[in-house]
Structures are given as C-alpha cells and as structure tokens.
Structure 1
C-alpha cells in the first residue's frame, strides 16, 4: 500500500490501516517514532467531522482529512499537546513535513 499526491509524489510506502475501534482509538499513541515513509490511514464509512489528539504521542506529525480523495484540511500537530479536526471520510497521519506542499483541493490517494 502507498499514499500518493496528485503530482505523483509518493508520500508514504509503509502504510498501516486503523480498521478496528481499538486501533482507531490508539492511533500512534505509545510509539517512540515512525519511519519517514510511514502513514497510518483511518478509513470511515461517511464524511463527517473527525478529530485527532496527540496524547501519548512524543513526536510531531502531519495529518490530512480527505473526502473522496480530495484534501479538506492539512495540519501539523505537535507532540503531546496537538489537536486537530476536520471533515473527512479518510484521515491520514504521516511524519511531520511529509505533507509539505499539499493543500486543500489537492487529491491524495491511498493505493493498494
């Protein structure tokens, strides 16, 4: 699996999905770090407001909210204290800086 920007730039090749209630609740909590090519994908069945927190996450991340593959919001969230929310049917968490140059209205695809 991989995460790709419409420009063809590969944002992540080491991709996990948070597909259970437990994995969605834990997210990146209690991990010491993530690889530079990593993404955690949260797929939901509908478009609605989704929130993220950085409690027990000791490193900064980038997050993107997607509706049918179209970027709704991109933000960098700070370790331990960050919080973000946006509308989406998919949310992707990546290492800080991975989403540089990605903006609302762009297309981001989770392939595979």
Structure 2
C-alpha cells in the first residue's frame, strides 16, 4: 500500500548471505507513547504483508506481551539492523523479552527463515 501523502514508502527487508527479501510491505512505525503502548492490541487480524516496527533510542531489554491480541505473531528483536532474538508469540498468552533498540512484529510464519545474526532493516 503506497501512502497518499509525501510519506516515503517503507518496507521491512531481511538479508542473509547477500540475498534480500521483503518481510513486510505494509509497515506501521510505533514511535509515540500511545502507539507503543497499544501495539497490536484490539485488532482482530493483520494482513500477510503487514509489519509493526517499534523504535527506541538505545538498546535495552525490551518486552512484548500478547494480551488482547487474538492471533499469533513473529517478533524480531534488533540492535541496529542485527537480529538478536526471534520468537513466535501465541495469541492472548505470548510473552517475550530480548535486547533491542528496534522490534519488528510480523504475521506468524513471515520470519520463519530469519535467524539470529541476520540483518533486518527498514528500507524507503
């Protein structure tokens, strides 16, 4: 989905061994207090090409919960562009912790071939 205003089109790209592939082409960035607090809560579903990216100022131990999220997701914790952790979180009860200055949430299965140490980045 391309934006109608001057906002650049952003997608989430996975790179390993010189090969790149798009993990999400419909990307939302949670950079404010409210958007970070709500995350995916109260949504019934997300599209297969959707990604929610949480931006933080510096690397720290970051947590995710799935309270009020009724579907599973793949979560990636990143420092810079390097994946430090990947976890599938179950709907309603999933919880995860990892070192990150950026977290990417994707539909379950979207990050199946992503491994710790791979590169994941936002591309305009």
TM-score, scaled to structure 2: 0.89
Q: List alignment gaps of at least 5 residues for structure 1.
A: none
1:1-112 pair list within 5 angstroms: 1-6=10-15, 7-112=19-124
Cα distance, 1:94 vs structure 2: 0.4
Question: Equivalents in 2 of 1:18, 1:68: separation in Å?
Answer: 17
TM-score, scaled to structure 1: 0.98
RMSD over aligned Cα atoms: 0.5
Corresponding residue SS for 1:9: strand
Structure 1 outlier segments of 4+, above 4 Å = none
In our comparison, the structure showing a higher alpha carbon Rg is 2
Question: Equivalents in 2 of 1:88, 1:80: separation in Å?
Answer: 23
Question: Equivalents in 2 of 1:75, 1:23: separation in Å?
Answer: 21
Q: List alignment gaps of at least 5 residues for structure 2.
A: 1-9
